[in-house]
């Protein structure tokens, strides 16, 4: 908007009309004082200022405007009846654009000047706006940089404090920070610690994860530069993301040698203990069987001997399972692969269970006429295990369904019960070693290793295993193994 200041109403009228005719929004003031009030309140692109006014004259107004930072850049065109000395004008008003027009003025010339000043004002405003934006941007970047530096400093200090070997890397995998501990294992900050020749190559695994953008987790042996002995470490590296983009990686090597040794000792102990228990147990069983044959007539003794034999069988199964676990751990679980008929295996297993658990009703569905290549005893072990669990965890609803079917080159066997079921949050770990559902474990005996062994057996047959269950409704345990083209 343009402000026209003149004490004569006709002058104001003719100027306002002229300007508005050329689409310049115009405001007016009839004295220096009124003009000042308006200037301080509103924003003007240009002021056309009459020099000779009663009270505050044009020069005084200009001088005052120049004193305020918000108004000092408004251009001014002075209107004067006489040709005043220009020195006089510039004295009071340095900053903004300035011009001088004598009355009576030529409207075209005045308009030309108005247009020039108006454009000048607009450009200056745009420049100022741009400068403001740039200033803010610089400020923002500065702050962001300071923030990033502070965060990095904090992270590096933490990584120096922890007892692990630690490092950070850029998004492309280039290592950009290592803690002091790193240098016990590597001479250079961009070379990973030396690993045992039999373990995975860190560089290869690292590059793979850079491509897949997934966290890295590896157990491997690394050694200190001046030592001969390797120690097991758990290498873990996770990507740090900002708005879905990986900005860096943070990694640690944790010494797990002691846990590894403890676990090895535990496995060895389990293996020795179960071996040692097996032999005397076999003798006890043999003597009991002899005794069984000799008790004739005495019903009570007969019942006791039968119960003892049944408990010996349970103990035998437990020891065999423990032995299986230690064989899995040491990679010594052997498989005797042959071709066998799955139908007769299923019939035998179901018959045997039905005879033992006469109060249960085991229903068989489907009879796939296929030959399976696998370890017959181990597959039977899986089916018996699924059946034993179905019976054990269904103390009330005594119906069990065993289904078998072949589809897409896969034999699938499932055992369904209508027992206590397993809640969703407990299902994920069900096939893990020593896992038992906590809230029901006190009611049912067990070690939590049966399903772990089943999983291992199925894996070794290149098969799949899974389960479906609902708390209180029952469970179905499945496994599938490839049967090839029949
Ligand atoms: P356990 O000796 O404890 O039965 P398993 O490895 O066979 O060990 O089973 C692990 C856990 O899975 C069990 O403790 C039990 O909580 C749960 N589970 C297995 N089968 C069933 C089933 N059919 N119904 C309900 N829970 C089951």
Q: Are 74 and 46 in contact (CB under 8 A)?
A: yes
Q: Is 477 exposed, middle or buried (0-12, 13-18, 19+ CB in 10 A)?
A: buried
Residue 82 has pLDDT above 70, yes or no: no
- Alpha-carbon 237 to chain mean position: 13
Which residue from 319, 393, 431 has its CB within 8 A of the most atoms of ligand 1, so it is best to mutate? 393
Name the residue at shortest CA distance from atom 13 of ligand 1.
436
377 Cβ neighbours under 8 A, 6+ residues apart: 336
Instruction: Give the mean model confidence (pLDDT) for residues 328-353.
Output: 91
What pLDDT does 83 receive?
A: 54
Q: What is the pTM of this model?
A: 0.59
Percentage of residues in the chain with pLDDT exceeding 70? 96
Angle at the Cα of 355 from the Cα atoms of 352 and 356, rounded to 5 degrees: 85
pLDDT, tens digit, for every residue of 130-159?
999 999 999 999 999 999 899 999 999 999
Cβ(479) to ligand 1 under 6 A?
A: no
Name the residue at shortest CA distance from atom 19 of ligand 1.
389
Helix (H) or strand (E) holding 143: helix 107-161
CA distance linking residue 327 with residue 334, whole number of Å: 8
Q: Residue 130 Cα, ligand 1 centroid: separation in angstroms?
A: 70
Instruction: Give the mean model confidence (pLDDT) for residues 465-478.
Output: 97
Cβ(400) to ligand 1 under 6 A?
A: no
Cβ(381) to ligand 1 under 6 A?
A: no
Q: Which atom of ligand 1 is nearest to the CA of 385?
A: 7
Lowest mean pLDDT among 229-238, 316-325, 373-382: 316-325
Cβ(333) to ligand 1 under 6 A?
A: no
- Alpha-carbon 415 to chain mean position: 36
Cβ(474) to ligand 1 under 6 A?
A: no
Residue 484 has pLDDT above 90, yes or no: no
pLDDT, tens digit, for every residue of 442-461?
889 888 999 999 999 999 99
Cβ(451) to ligand 1 under 6 A?
A: yes
Cβ(51) to ligand 1 under 6 A?
A: no
What pLDDT does 305 receive?
A: 93
Supply the angle between the helices 376-392 and 342-356 in degrees, to the nearest 10: 40
Q: Are 212 and 239 in contact (CB under 8 A)?
A: no
Residue 200 phi/psi, 5-degree rounding, is -60, 150
Q: Residue 478 Cα, ligand 1 centroid: separation in angstroms?
A: 14
Lowest mean pLDDT among 156-170, 328-342, 353-367, 470-484: 328-342
What pLDDT does 78 receive?
A: 87
Six token digits for residue 212: 């897949």
Q: Name the superfamily (CATH) of residues 162-255.
A: PAS domain (3.30.450.20)
Residue 69 has pLDDT above 90, yes or no: no
User: 207 - beta bridge partners?
Assistant: none
Helical residues (DSSP H) of 202-253, grouped into ranges: 202-212
Structural domain boundaries in the chain? 2-128, 162-255, 260-330, 338-482
Cβ(440) to ligand 1 under 6 A?
A: yes
Tell me what the pLDDT averaged over the chain comes to. Answer: 91
What pLDDT does 17 receive?
A: 94
pLDDT, tens digit, for every residue of 83-112?
555 555 554 455 456 788 888 888 898 999
Q: Residue 417 Cα, ligand 1 centroid: separation in angstroms?
A: 12
Six token digits for residue 48: 């056309």
Q: Which atom of ligand 1 is nearest to the CA of 390?
A: 23
Percentage of residues in the chain with pLDDT exceeding 90? 69
Instruction: Give the mean model confidence (pLDDT) for residues 228-255.
Output: 95
Task: Look up the CATH architecture of domain 260-330.
Answer: Orthogonal Bundle (1.10)
Higher pLDDT, 185 or 103: 185
Which residue is it, tokens 């070693």?
433
Q: Residue 187 Cα, ligand 1 centroid: separation in angstroms?
A: 51
CATH number of this structure's domain 338-482: 3.30.565.10
Cβ(453) to ligand 1 under 6 A?
A: no
Cβ(422) to ligand 1 under 6 A?
A: yes
pLDDT, tens digit, for every residue of 210-223?
999 999 999 999 99
Residue 403 has pLDDT above 50, yes or no: yes
Diameter of the chain measured on Cα atoms: 149
Which fold would CATH assign to domain 2-128?
Rossmann fold (3.40.50)
Q: Are 387 and 413 in contact (CB under 8 A)?
A: no
């Amino acid at each position: 908007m343009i402000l026209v200041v003149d004490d004569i109403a006709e002058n104001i009228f003719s100027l306002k009309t002229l300007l508005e005719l050329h689409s310049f929004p115009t405001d007016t003031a009839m004295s220096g004082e009124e003009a000042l009030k308006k200037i301080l309140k509103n924003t003007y692109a240009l002021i056309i200022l009459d020099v000779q006014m009663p009270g505050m004259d044009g020069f005084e107004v200009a001088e005052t405007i120049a004193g305020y930072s918000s108004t000092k850049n408004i251009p001014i065109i002075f209107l004067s009846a006489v040709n005043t000395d220009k020195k006089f004008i510039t004295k009071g008003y340095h900053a903004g654009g300035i011009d001088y027009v004598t009355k009576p003025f030529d409207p075209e010339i005045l308009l030309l000047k108005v247009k020039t000043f108006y454009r000048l004002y607009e450009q200056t405003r745009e420049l100022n706006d741009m400068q403001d934006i740039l200033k803010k941007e610089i400020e923002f970047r500065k702050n962001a940089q300071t923030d990033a530096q502070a965060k990095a400093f904090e992270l590096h200090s933490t990584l120096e404090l922890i007892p692990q070997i630690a490092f950070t890397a850029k998004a492309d995998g280039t290592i950009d920070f290592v803690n002091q501990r790193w240098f016990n294992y590597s001479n250079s900050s961009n070379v990973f610690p030396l690993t045992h020749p039999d373990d995975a190559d860190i560089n290869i695994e690292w590059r793979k994860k850079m491509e897949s953008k997934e966290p890295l987790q590896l157990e491997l042996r690394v050694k200190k530069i001046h030592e001969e002995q390797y120690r097991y470490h758990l290498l873990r590296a996770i990507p740090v993301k900002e708005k879905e983009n990986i900005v860096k990686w943070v990694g640690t090597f944790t010494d797990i040698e002691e846990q590894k040794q403890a676990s090895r000792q535990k496995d060895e102990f389990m293996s020795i203990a179960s071996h040692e228990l097996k032999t005397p147990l076999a003798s006890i069983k043999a003597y009991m069987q002899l005794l069984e044959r000799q008790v004739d007539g005495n019903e009570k003794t007969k019942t006791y001997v039968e119960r003892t034999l049944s408990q010996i069988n349970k103990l035998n199964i437990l020891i065999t399972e423990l032995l299986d676990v230690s064989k899995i751990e040491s990679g010594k679980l052997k498989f005797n692969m042959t071709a066998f008929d799955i139908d007769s295996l299923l019939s035998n297993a179901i018959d045997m269970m039905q005879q033992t658990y006469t109060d249960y009703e085991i229903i068989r569905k489907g009879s796939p006429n296929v030959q399976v290549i696998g370890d017959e005893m181990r597959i039977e072990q899986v089916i018996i295990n699924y059946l034993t669990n179905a019976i054990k965890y269904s103390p009330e609803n005594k119906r069990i369904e065993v289904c078998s079917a072949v589809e897409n080159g896969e034999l699938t066997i499932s055992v369904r019960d209508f027992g206590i079921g397993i809640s969703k949050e407990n299902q994920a770990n069900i096939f893990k070693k020593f896992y038992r559902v906590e809230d029901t474990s006190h009611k049912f005996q067990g070690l939590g290793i049966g399903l772990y062994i089943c999983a291992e057996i199925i894996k070794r047959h290149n098969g799949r295993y899974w389960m479906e269950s609902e708390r209180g409704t029952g469970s179905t345990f499945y496994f599938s193994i490839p049967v090839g083209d029949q």
